[in-house]
Structure 1
Amino acid sequence: MKPRRIALTGGIATGKSTVAGMFAELGAVVLDADQAARDVVEPGHVCWHQLREAVGASYFEPDGHLRRKALRDGIIRDASLRSRVNAILHPAILKTMDRQWREWRDKDPRKVIIFDIPLLFELGLDIRFDTIILVYVPEHVQIERLMSRDGLSRDAALRTLSMQSPIEWKKKRAQIVIDNSKDLSATRGQVKEIWVSLTEEENWEHSQ
Structure 2
Amino acid sequence: MAPRRLGLTGSIGAGKSTVAHLLRARGFTVLDADVVAHEISASVEVTQAVEAAFGSQYLKDGALDRSRLAELVFNHPEQRKQLNRIIHPRVRARMTELEREASGEWIVQDIPLLFENGLDAQMDATLLVDAPLELRVARVLARGGLSRDDILKRDAAQLSGSEKRRRASMTLDNDGDLAQLERRLDQVLDALKVRP
Structure-1 residue corresponding to 2:106: 112
User: Structure 1 stretch 139-148 or stretch 19-28: which is displaced more?
Assistant: 139-148
- Rounded Cα–Cα distance in structure 2 between residues aligned with 1:157 and 1:31: 24
Deviation at 1:77, TM superposition (A): 1.2
- Rounded Cα–Cα distance in structure 2 between residues aligned with 1:2 and 1:156: 40
Structure-1 residue corresponding to 2:70: 72
- Rounded Cα–Cα distance in structure 2 between residues aligned with 1:141 and 1:81: 29
- For structure 2, the residue ranges without an aligned partner over 5 or more in a row are none
Deviation at 1:149, TM superposition (A): 4.2
Deviation at 1:68, TM superposition (A): 1.1
**What one-letter code is carried by the residue in structure 1 that aligns with 2:87?**
L
Aligned match for 2:132, one of 115, 138, 141 = 138
Structure-2 residue corresponding to 1:152: 147
Deviation at 1:147, TM superposition (A): 4.6
C-alpha deviations, 1:91-145, integer Å up to 9, x for none? 11111101111121xxx3x343100000111111111111001101123433443
Alpha-carbon distance change, 100 to 157 in structure 1, aligned in 2, over 3 angstroms: closer
Secondary structure of the residue aligned to 1:198 is coil
- Rounded Cα–Cα distance in structure 1 between residues aligned with 2:114 and 2:101: 22
- TM-score, with structure 2 as normaliser: 0.88
- When the two structures are aligned, how many residues end up with a matched partner? 193
Structure-1 residue corresponding to 2:23: 23
**What one-letter code is carried by the residue in structure 2 that aligns with 1:152?**
S
Secondary structure of the residue aligned to 2:82 is helix
Secondary structure of the residue aligned to 2:167 is coil
User: Structure 1 stretch 72-81 or stretch 28-37: which is displaced more?
Assistant: 72-81
Alignment of 1:118-129 (within 5 A): 118-129=112-123
- Higher relative strand content: 2
- Indicate yes or no: 2:1 matched with 1:5: no
The structure whose Rg is larger is 1
- Rounded Cα–Cα distance in structure 2 between residues aligned with 1:29 and 1:139: 29
Deviation at 1:159, TM superposition (A): 2.7
Deviation at 1:8, TM superposition (A): 0.2
Alignment of 1:1-208 (within 5 A): 3-44=3-44, 46-62=45-61, 64-104=62-102, 108=103, 110-150=104-144, 152-153=147-148, 155-195=149-189, 197-199=193-195
**What one-letter code is carried by the residue in structure 1 that aligns with 2:19?**
V
- TM-score, with structure 1 as normaliser: 0.84
- For structure 1, the residue ranges without an aligned partner over 5 or more in a row are 203-208
Secondary structure of the residue aligned to 1:5 is strand
